[in-house]
Structure 1
Amino acid sequence: MQLNTLIERVEVPAREGRLVRLAAGRRVRVTTETGGQVGDLFAFTGDDLSEHLSAAHTRAHLDRLFPAVGEQFVTDRRRPILTLVEDTSPGRHDLLIPACDPARYRALGVTSPHASCAENLRHALAGLGRELPVVPQPVNVFMDIPVDPAGGLAWLPSPAPPGAAITFEAVRDSVVVVSACPQDLVGINARGPQPLVVEVVEGARA
């Protein structure tokens, strides 16, 4: 199998989000070039945004907290949307925590405007002329939130080293938004908010 050439490369500035379109069979690779940066990844089928990748349905589908390489994420209609095809990070990714939003930062004591993954998603989708009534729970790539035996959560710095990448293949035509998480009050971003790189490539062919 051989991967074909790069189709698109998008730099996602720290604290911002960017959108890419994936035809079925194409791949999206998210890289933390500096290391330690969490990315909130959202995916929708087509441009109408009526069906989205669902963390809850994926957990039920797989009987595990996060897919292994070769396994699929599913939508709120329980249809496959993305397949995890490669992961060069330590494999710590989260499917429990919702996207940060203005209310989250207010609860953390922020009184001035603060970027958030929820608002980054809305801004990225604005170019489609669509409004999003509810922000879906994202796939939090490179985010380490372990669960202890008593059910408690720990918010640990991302262990992803510089250059770590995770790659997904589209099962169906999709819109994908990646937010370089702006969280700077809880220490999930190991070096503070940093940029991410998103690349779209052709899928593998025999």
Structure 2
Amino acid sequence: MTTTLQATVLDTVVQPGDGALIRVPSGGRLRIVDTHGNQAVDTLLYDADDVDNRYSAFDTIREQGAVYLTTGSRLLSTRLDELAVISDDTCGRHDTIGGACAQESNVIRYGEHVRHQHACRQTFLAYGAAAGIGQRQLGHNINFFMNVPVDSAGNLSFEDGVSAPGKYVEIVASRDILVLISNCPQLNNPCNGWNPTPVQLLGWWDA
């Protein structure tokens, strides 16, 4: 571990429905801590020098031959560049096919009465704007700590999480990257245990 060789440069709490945009230099480590358990953390990765070179769930799944992400998973871009690697994971598996909630999809899934509810897509656009990340740069995201079982027929469902208080996932940047996070506010399915809660972000890299 390189904790003793790098400074702790990030220690912050992200409330449910809020987000963050973090630049992590090559070799830097970012840890996401599920402080209360069963909280989905929607996450997108970008090449810090070219936000059109962004995380690709399709390529990541195909190249590793597995639907879920965990320790050792290489997080690949649309150009097959390695953006980061999951270096530590106390949860066990993470989703990258369920997508991010949006007001439009909420209405389709749960009814017109939820249209006013805040959604991850809004958070992505609000925080991503500072780096030139707009709708064109949004793609399929990682849902850290989210439980999306896939059956033998390829059907998926949103279920109670497999995380617990204090569980965490850590990534190491393979190049300078931007990490765009939405701490999911979803209230209409069990991905957040029906009660969205804060998460902690910790980062170690040369100051």
Residues 142 and 158, structure 1, Cα contact 8 Å, conserved in 2: yes
Asked if the contact 1:37–1:191 (Cα under 8 Å) also holds between the matched residues in 2, the reply is no
What residue ranges of structure 1 are gaps of 5+ in the alignment?
Answer: none
The structure whose residues are more often helix, as a share, is 2
- Contact 1:47 1:128 (8 Å CA) reproduced: no
User: Taking every aligned residue pair, what percent have the same amino acid on both sides?
Assistant: 26
Query: How far apart in 2 are the matches of 1:158 and 1:197?
Result: 17
**Deviations for 1:75-124, whole angstroms, at most 9, x for unmatched residues?**
000110010100111x1311111111111111121444211111111001
Give the 3 Å change call, closer, same or farther, for CA 64–168 of structure 1 in structure 2.
same
> Over aligned residue pairs, what C-alpha RMSD do you find?
1.7
Q: Which runs of 5+ in 2 are unaligned?
A: none
Q: Which amino acid aligns with 2:96?
A: L
- Over 3 Å counting, the alpha-carbon distance change for 1:86 and 1:130 in structure 2 is closer
The answer as to 2:100 corresponding to 1:99 is yes
The corresponding residue for 1:115 is 118
Report if aligned partners of 1:86, 1:168 keep a CA contact under 8 Å in 2: yes
* Alpha-carbon distance in structure 1 between the residues aligned to 2:128 and 2:140: 16
> Whole-Å Cα distance in 2 between the matches of residues 191 and 164 of structure 1?
18
Would the alpha carbon gap of residues 132 and 151 (structure 1) be closer, same or farther in structure 2, given more than 3 Å must change? closer
Contact 1:16-1:115 at 8 Å conserved across structures: no
Provide the rounded CA distance (Å) in 2 between the counterparts of 1:38 and 1:68: 15
AA in 2 matched with 1:115: H
TM-score for the superposition, normalised by structure 2: 0.91
Amino acid at match of 1:45: D
Contact 2:51 2:137 in 1 (8 A): no
Q: Determine which of 69, 75, 78 is the counterpart of 1:76.
A: 78
**Where does residue 192 of structure 1 map in the other structure?**
195
One-letter code aligned to 1:40: D
Match of 1:60 in 2: 62
Matched residue SS, 1:50: strand
3-state DSSP class of the match of 1:49? Answer: strand
Contact 1:15 1:194 in 2 (8 A): no
Q: Please give the residue correspondences for 1:79-90 in structure 2 after superposition, counting only pairs within 5 Å.
A: 79-89=81-91
Distance 1:110 1:32, change over 3 A: farther
State the one-letter code of the partner of 2:2. Answer: Q
Contact 2:19 2:123 (8 Å CA) reproduced: yes
Equivalent position to 1:5, from 2, 7, 12:
7
Deviates more, 1:6-15 or 1:64-73: 64-73
Q: What is the deviation of 1:129? A: 4.6
Query: Quick one: distance in 2 between partners of 1:26 and 1:2?
Result: 10
1:49 aligns with 2:79: no
